[in-house]
Structure formats: C-alpha cells, structure tokens
Amino acid sequence: MSKEKEKGKYAWTVKIGEKGQFVIPKEARDMFGFKPGDTIIILADKKRGIAIPPRNIIAELASKIFDTPPEQAKEE
C-alpha cells in the first residue's frame, strides 16, 4: 500500500516475516532502481529510525570519502 502525501514523498506499509525480513515494495524498487542481487546499505539512528538510501547517494558519499569519481564508485 502506497500513499503520497506531498509531491515526491511516499510511504509504504510492509510486514516483517518470522526471520525479520521484509520486501521493498515494487513501486519503490522501480523508483530507485533496485534489482535482484543488488547490495544495499541500511542506515539506522535510534531516535530517527531506519533509512535505505538510493545507490547513487552512497556512490557520491563514497567518492567524497575515498576521493574517486562517482561513476567509478558505482562500478566497484
């Protein structure tokens, strides 16, 4: 189930299974380009919650940390 409050802002509900797993909704996977076999990063803050940032944001952050071009960071 998806709900768009404001332009570009979405919320989905998912159920957590017995093993602690959940499925990223298809609409979200399509929106952010997640494909089967992709590795994602989960960021967590006890006060603010959990975030799954898009791959391009992590590539940009990695390039700043390691001083490599974002295109090269995406390929590795």
List residues bridging with 14 in a β-sheet. Answer: none
C-beta separation of 13 from 1 below 8 A: yes
Contact predicate 63/49, CB 8 Å: no
User: Which whole-number Å values give the CA distances from 47 to 16, 27, 68, in the listed order?
Assistant: 20, 27, 32
**Could you say which DSSP state residue 46 is in?**
T
Question: How far is the first Cα of the chain from the last one, in angstroms, to the nearest whole number?
Answer: 34
Q: For the segment 10-37, what is each residue's pLDDT rounded down to a tens digit?
A: 999 999 999 999 999 999 999 988 999 9
For tokens 């959990």, name the residue.
Answer: 50
Domain ranges of the chain: 25-76
User: pLDDT by residue (tens digit) across 47-74?
Assistant: 999 998 887 787 888 888 887 666 665 5
